[in-house]
Structure 1
Amino acid sequence: MLTKDLIRCRIDRGRLKPQFVPVDDPEALALAGDLLEPYRLPDGPRRCDIDEMTDPICKGARDVILAKGLKKIIDDQAEFATGDDYDYPAARRRLFAQAAQLLRSSERLTEDEYRRRLALVAAAEPLLAEDRLYADLPENDRLRAFKDLTARQLLERYNCGLVQGLLVRASAMELGVDASDASKLRRLFKYLKFFRLLCRLYGDDAAKESPLTDDGATDSAAAGIFAKGALLRARIEGPASIVTESKRYGLQLACFFPAVCALARWQLRTEVEWKDRTRELVLDESSGLVNHYHNFTAYVPDEIKLFHRHFADTVNAWTIVTHTPFLAGPGNELIFPDLSFANSDGLLMHLELFHRWHSGPLRERLDYLRRQPALPLLLGVDRSLCRQDPTMEEELKTEPAFADRVFLFRDYPTVDKTLKCLEKAQARMH
């Protein structure tokens, strides 16, 4: 995504208007193609070699900020090999000390003889002998891997990066998303969960003909939401008071955003801190933004992959269900669990996780659990939330309504804690 100094946007009647580049513009395509070429050179060019070739292109472009922004997007696709474990600074000190000693010696050396003697010293340092005196400096890092793009794809990434750069400065997001394709919607909310975001889901007026109930029913009760033309309203909220967490949450919002662009219809509204003022950002599918998260499994965090693998290897009585349903929440709200589990008796249980910035939604969900003892929903709560609210841990441990439905974890749940909670819930329901 783009940093603040590379974001091109204007303010129109108090609203931010990102300056998207037309992806079929010949001049923009030519600029993108020129900037990509140095990254395609064989044998891993050095970073300084790439910069030497791209700097004149950026400085000579009609829009320098656009050119630098395109290069930033390309750099995000590049992986450079950093210096090895060789102690280059110590080797340089030894070489410079020998060079100084030769200069101070009483011998009258010609330039050629001086260089020959110094070469002998350098030969004792294998890496320096290969003309790698400063190989540990960042500008000498070599390109190790590059996720190549076409010029058009680069422009599409740039336009999406403009919005992501703005969303880093947001702490909440309101979405209207197309609900006519349940599979795409499920995919969207899996992305949301993977980026540890929590949202409130509501059906719009088109869905209210089949209102959701509070009886814990799953997809069958939510069928009215997925009617043709229906929109789901979602509000993704972050922490209101912890500044450092707000910044981190904004980054998560920005990383999640491309997944929204995969839907046929969507609307976004958020408020962004821009030039010392809060500005409104409003976008929809007419912006032409393109989702580049094509390989879904590539964006599954390692801890989730490890959890799935360890659960499958060690637990026999339960399996993780790949088709996670929506649960009916209070009023017209929907709940999308992080994980769903089934046992051999056909019992289906769901798990929703609450991370460090979810204190407000957690309180509401706990109240809902109290009112719905039959709801097949378990809650995993990050211990950092208990540090924010000193009464939380004691409440979760002592209140009977939570004894077999809520457990604490650090960063991500373990299989053991999840299994114990599943077994307690199974015992209660039988």
Structure 2
Amino acid sequence: MLPTDLLSYRHNGEEIIPKRLSIDDRNLKVATEIITCYQDAVGNTQGLLERQLSDLEGDTPDYRMKRGLAYILKSSFSTFEVVSPLEPPMLRAKVFAVAAKSSPSRESTQITLGKVADELSRELEKEILPSQVRDGLYADLNENKILTNFDAPTPESLLHRYNLSQVQGVFYKASQLIINAHRNVPGQYKLLFRYLKLFQLMSYIEGDADHGFTITIDGPTSLFHPSTRYGLAIAKLIPALLHVTKWSLASTLQTRDFYTKARKTGRFTLNSECGLVTHYSPGKPYDSMLEESFANKWKSAKTEWVLEREVDLIPIPGSVMIPDFRLVHPDGRTFLLEIVGYWRPEYLQKKFYQVRRSERNDLILAISERLNLDKAGVKLNDVPAKIVWFKDKLLPKSVLAVLD
């Protein structure tokens, strides 16, 4: 996503319209030039790359667009690393200790680098050259980090990513989003709700799978303490929403007038015909390593119970609960399994509220012993579910003990 200073949009009354680039020859040429700049910079420093990008940018009026494309390549497709024979602070200490024993001069500098290189060669049991010592001294500065890998996108996909990032940036200042997920296949709903759950967004959900859902999400500017992290989480939802077949979105934004700095309200709308292209996969198999580890261990468990991944939607007032797994026995018995391993008090309160409102008698809660439920104000005495406790990892035998 783009930082605020690289976002471009215009106003049409209260409506905010983000800048989007046409996928035409001119823009494809610019994207190709910037991608080539990165490809040629592999193995060189970030400082050299930035100077080349500055030359490419020149004094053209579209400099913000070029900077935006370059930023996306840097943040999403590039790997910059500190390349040094030793951690730079430790290397500087060694070099300065040796250098302090002689008077400063060009000759003594070369002698110092040579001595440190020989010492490191013996310690590390590989050849270290004086030039590596010199280059590694301040390798931890951003301008000296080396571009070690660049996974080049196509020019067209870079432009799509830019357009999506411009739209995502609108939600940094959102006070509320209302998403109407129109009638879709159940899998589409589940994918959307999984991302809501994954990004820990505060939402109120109405509707059902037969008619569609209305999802009201609190934006970052509606919080008591506006959170940049929460604003980013809202923005991250948009590429996930693009996987849903039919939807519409309306957002209320809190912005400032460019000249007077006075606060004002803006509006932004979007729907499934917007033409934006997502770079998200259709959905992660698991929301956490904890869930993935449990599922992998279940494969080797000796049991007739079959483990299925997120197959049920449980409608409850104001929300929808999607248990992590369903357990099915050949004799027809079924149970739903929810793993509670996340510590945030707000999350715990919401999770146990959902469990109580679900009024299900076939629910199993696997709860981490590391959670401070008392501090979160959560009481288990009125939770209508079977409880399984675990420490670091949830083991199939613990769940099977409750089932059998």
Q: Is the 8 A contact 1:312 1:319 kept in 2?
A: no
Q: Name the structure where helix makes up a greater proportion of residues.
A: 1
Which residue identity is paired with 2:274? S
> Following TM superposition, by how much is the alpha carbon of 1:289 offset from its aligned partner in structure 2, in angstroms?
1.1
> Following TM superposition, by how much is the alpha carbon of 1:193 offset from its aligned partner in structure 2, in angstroms?
3.2
TM-score norm. by structure 1 comes to 0.73
Kindly provide the CA deviation profile for residues 326-348 of structure 1, in whole angstroms up to 9, marking residues without a partner as x. 234349x6533333333454332
Work out the number of aligned pairs and report it: 375
**Unmatched 5+ residue regions in structure 2?**
118-127, 257-262
User: For 1:353 and 1:12, how far apart are their aligned partners in 2?
Assistant: 47
> Following TM superposition, by how much is the alpha carbon of 1:361 offset from its aligned partner in structure 2, in angstroms?
4.3
Which residue identity is paired with 2:112? V
Q: State whether structure 2 residue 116 is matched by structure 1 residue 125.
A: yes
Q: State whether structure 2 residue 257 is matched by structure 1 residue 258.
A: no
Residues 268 and 50 of structure 1, relative CA distance in 2, 3 Å threshold? same
Ranked by relative contact order (alpha carbons within 8 Å, sequence separation 6 or more), the top structure is 1
Q: Is the 8 A contact 2:310 2:325 kept in 1?
A: no
> Which of 93, 97, 104 lines up with 2:96 in the alignment?
93
> Which of 178, 187, 194 lines up with 1:190 in the alignment?
194
**Structure 2 counterparts to residues 286-325 of structure 1, below 5 A:** 286-294=273-281, 296-297=283-284, 301-313=288-300, 316=303, 318-322=305-309, 324-325=311-312
Partner SS, residue 49 of structure 2: helix
**Unmatched 5+ residue regions in structure 1?**
104-113, 204-211, 213-221, 226-230
Partner SS, residue 103 of structure 2: helix
Q: State whether structure 2 residue 255 is matched by structure 1 residue 274.
A: yes
Q: State whether structure 2 residue 140 is matched by structure 1 residue 136.
A: yes
Residues 102 and 2 of structure 1, relative CA distance in 2, 3 Å threshold? closer
Kindly provide the CA deviation profile for residues 307-333 of structure 1, in whole angstroms up to 9, marking residues without a partner as x. 4324444574644303512234349x6
Q: State whether structure 2 residue 335 is matched by structure 1 residue 346.
A: no
User: For 1:300 and 1:249, how far apart are their aligned partners in 2?
Assistant: 18
> Following TM superposition, by how much is the alpha carbon of 1:30 offset from its aligned partner in structure 2, in angstroms?
1.8
Residues 59 and 341 of structure 1, relative CA distance in 2, 3 Å threshold? farther
Q: Is the 8 A contact 1:169 1:247 kept in 2?
A: no
Q: Is the 8 A contact 2:203 2:216 kept in 1?
A: yes
Residues 32 and 384 of structure 1, relative CA distance in 2, 3 Å threshold? farther
User: For 1:5 and 1:285, how far apart are their aligned partners in 2?
Assistant: 27
> Following TM superposition, by how much is the alpha carbon of 1:300 offset from its aligned partner in structure 2, in angstroms?
5.1
Number of the residue aligned with 1:336: 322
Number of the residue aligned with 1:243: 225
User: For 2:277 and 2:255, how far apart are their aligned partners in 1?
Assistant: 24
Q: Is the 8 A contact 2:248 2:270 kept in 1?
A: yes
Q: State whether structure 2 residue 202 is matched by structure 1 residue 164.
A: no
Q: Is the 8 A contact 2:174 2:253 kept in 1?
A: yes
Number of the residue aligned with 2:213: 232
Q: Is the 8 A contact 2:366 2:390 kept in 1?
A: yes
Number of the residue aligned with 1:35: 34
Moved more, 130-139 or 150-159: 130-139
Number of the residue aligned with 2:260: none
Number of the residue aligned with 1:387: 375
Number of the residue aligned with 1:17: 17
> Following TM superposition, by how much is the alpha carbon of 1:5 offset from its aligned partner in structure 2, in angstroms?
1.2
User: For 1:243 and 1:307, how far apart are their aligned partners in 2?
Assistant: 36
**Structure 2 counterparts to residues 365-384 of structure 1, below 5 A:** 365-369=354-358, 372-374=359-361, 376-378=362-364, 383=371
Which residue identity is paired with 2:394? V
> Following TM superposition, by how much is the alpha carbon of 1:271 offset from its aligned partner in structure 2, in angstroms?
3.1
Number of the residue aligned with 1:108: none
TM-score norm. by structure 2 comes to 0.77
- Report percent identity of matched pairs: 23
User: For 2:154 and 2:46, how far apart are their aligned partners in 1?
Assistant: 21
Moved more, 156-165 or 272-281: 272-281
Number of the residue aligned with 2:121: none
Residues 128 and 55 of structure 1, relative CA distance in 2, 3 Å threshold? farther
Residues 141 and 293 of structure 1, relative CA distance in 2, 3 Å threshold? same
Kindly provide the CA deviation profile for residues 128-165 of structure 1, in whole angstroms up to 9, marking residues without a partner as x. 61241433322221222222111111111111112323
Q: Is the 8 A contact 1:404 1:421 kept in 2?
A: no
User: For 1:404 and 1:148, how far apart are their aligned partners in 2?
Assistant: 49
Which residue identity is paired with 2:92? P
